[in-house]
Structure 1
């Protein structure tokens, strides 16, 4: 694999490669609350950027549904194609995407902040991700779910209270801007 370009141009290149890959895999055609899956992915990417997240976490936000998720079954690529996503966004961003997409939410969410076990829904493997990975996972989850809260009143009505409780339990993992957004959008 060629070395990644550095600086702002390198980041813009990775964003362009990721967007092209997502588009080629049909993200422009997949219905999603607020329009299409690609529109949602772009909003999550933008939100993380507004919160001051580092570039690799923002790129993971752009691609977070590439392998599907425990809450959104549509996958644009399989876990056998991890190298394809690495080529577009880099290994660190792809690792965040895999962790996010692979999360067995029912098993893993409640103990995330306390260092509880984390189960990979693709392999069944149970692990203990380091705190930095848990922080990335929590920040990405909040950006994703708050996007849905903002654009879908039914989603907010149905899931808002539970999300607020979950995100309150993750407060120590979240950035100040993410915590502010939770309070602003979920009370």
Structure 2
């Protein structure tokens, strides 16, 4: 696979081709958001596959952002561009039925509910860590650029990321605590 910079440039070109630069998203456009998520993951020293997944995480839409840029029957196209490992992370993130999955995700034996297929499975430890780290990077980006989002959803996100703390890198956990501090003083709040 080409280096991270070359692959990132190609992924950004594909995102532009599919209109991500013109889709509104908190903090500007979808493309701007995706680039910030990738940058946050890079700051947290995530491996290249996870950084690329951060840049591409919305290609199939998500449970929280239904606009899809690429249909699922073209997964092989994205995998050919960013690599199979990064594309698998993108699919896992996009396929998550958050309401059904998030409450128990911290448990190693928890079912992951695929909103595309309706099936459940138990992801392995690396997949769960990748999902948690990408979730934190995504939600923190929105919380930082949109105070209304942070005020509304921040307390619940802090509870979620507190439960997922063992799946997060030290840098991700620190930023979760910092960005969401003071939003929740109830049980389970971060110290």
Same fold by TM-score greater than 0.5: yes
Partner residue, 1:124: 118
1:84 is aligned to 77
- What's the CA shift for 1:110? 1.1
- For residues 86 and 35 of structure 1, what CA distance do their matches in structure 2 show? 27
RMSD, matched Cα: 0.6
User: Aligned residue for 2:37?
Assistant: 44
For the residues of structure 2 that align with 1:172 and 1:113, how far apart are their CA atoms? 8
Moved more, 110-119 or 50-59: 110-119
Q: What is the aligned counterpart of 2:140 among 130, 140, 146? A: 146
Distance 1:53 1:18 in 2: 18
Number of corresponding residues? 180
Partners of 1:177 and 1:151 in 2: CA distance: 19
Unaligned ranges ≥5, structure 1:
none
Deviations, residues 45-83 of structure 1 (Å, cap 9, x unaligned) = 000000000000000000000000000011100111101
TM-score (norm. length: structure 2): 0.93
What CA distance in whole angstroms lies between the structure 2 residues aligned with 1:143 and 1:55? 15
Flag as ranges the 4+ runs of structure 1 deviating above 3 A.
none
CA contact (8 A) 1:51 1:177 kept: yes
Structure 1 residue 114, shift from structure 2 partner: 0.5
Question: 1:94-132 deviations in whole A, cap 9, x for unaligned?
Answer: 000000000000011111110210011000110000011
Q: Does 2:154 match 1:155?
A: no
- Structure 2 stretches of 5 or more lacking a match? 182-191
TM-score by length of 1: 0.95
1:145 positional shift: 0.2
